[in-house]
Amino acid sequence: MLKTKKRTKRTKRTAVGIGVMALMLLAAGCGGNDSGNKTADKTEGPSTSAATASDKGGAKSTEQAKALKDLKITRLYHGAMETFKGADTINSNRLIDKLREASGFNIQYEALPLENPSQKISIIFASGDVPDIMTIAGKSDYFKLAKQGALEPLDDLIAKEMPNVSNMAGQEALDAVKFDGKIYAIPYRQAQKVGNGLLARTDVLKELGLKEPGTLDEFYETMKTIKEKKNIAPLSIATSNPGYFFDGFTPFAAAFGVATPTKIKDGKLVFSWVQPEYKEFLETMKQWYDEGLLDQEFAIKKGTQETLINGTAVFTPMYWGERARDRQCFERQERRRNRRLHRAAGRQERGVRPAGQLDFHNLHHYSEAG
């Protein structure tokens, strides 16, 4: 709970998700306006007056939302938030209509910024105007808030109102979010076989007669060939944004079995960063950098779209969940590039594209065996 000078009678429950597992924190926040607290006070159980969902978004969604009690959800940014078709948005589509009908709440989504979400989280909690549900990435923000006394313990609430939470999360996950013996978060496990992967300019591979690499050794040889024939650094990585440094190298760290901070080795939990295989991974990345296969400015880059579009790179790591957003961004830039080429060549015919049209493809995640 947020500690304010005046503690209101009602409390507002806020859920905040925490990653690597990832975890979801349900916090109770006091503060904000009186109407906000009244809304939150009703969120302990579903409403009995659910509106009828529409098979279409738009105005129908808006009408339905007005008849329901508000439930504000702030979540991590995801590329899918920008991939709705037509007039649909994250708060106006068939799925959100069904969620409103089933829950009886006017669910409204907002996203944390892609860059530096922790700063935004601090601002939200400092303001006292917290959402009903919030997800965050990383345990540091959660434990900082718990230590500051900004959250209410949820042990009694879980026992009385949410008996299935323990079965869903598992005792180990619940123990992991305890602070001073109390639970301030509802954790959830994220089952995911694929995290970060590689996006490739397959048109360049076809142009040079190269096959899609299937192992780390094949990837290395492919990059060497591209550099020799194109005189470019084939691999572009942007790591200057907070939290992106290690993520950019995850597809390659996975090939050495050190993609996560910890791993099971000989039946024991050990830190990946002090293992011999992590040193081997770092030496390999240094070799690629020294040979000019890795972008020499990777440490100060904020994005890789432009390098792939203009042909100064062929491969870039990407998060699987942001595949749609990244690909759409590439394709938009490609269309702009093609229009410029059309105008320069005096070719205005609709649908005519110049030679060398870009082609993007996702390579698989290299396994440790590779």
| DSSP per residue, 124-140 | HHHHT---SEE--SSHH
* Cα torsion through 337, 114, 200, 339, rounded to 10: -10
| Residues 224-249, mean pLDDT to the nearest whole number | 83
Ordered by where they begin, the domains of the chain are 12-187 (3.40.190), 196-363 (3.40.190.10)
Percent of the chain surpassing pLDDT 90:
24
Res. 132: pLDDT tops 70: yes
What's the confidence (pLDDT) of residue 210? 95
What's the confidence (pLDDT) of residue 337? 58
Cβ pair 213, 219 in contact under 8 A: yes
Which structure tokens are listed for 73?
């959800």
Res. 131: pLDDT tops 70: yes
User: What tens digit of pLDDT does each residue of 304-354 get?
Assistant: 777 877 888 899 887 655 554 555 555 655 566 556 655 655 544 444 433
What's the confidence (pLDDT) of residue 350? 42
pLDDT band for 29, please (50, 70, 90 cuts). Answer: very low
pTM: 0.48
Q: What is the 3-state secondary structure (H, E, C) of 199-233?
A: EEEHHHHHHCCCCCCCCHHHHHHHHHHHHHHHCCC
**Region of 198 on the Ramachandran plot (φ > 0 left; ψ -120 to 50 alpha; else beta):** beta
Q: To the nearest whole number, what is the mean pLDDT of the chain? A: 73
pLDDT band for 195, please (50, 70, 90 cuts). Answer: low
Q: How far apart are CA 309 and CA 349, in angstroms?
A: 23
**Region of 149 on the Ramachandran plot (φ > 0 left; ψ -120 to 50 alpha; else beta):** left
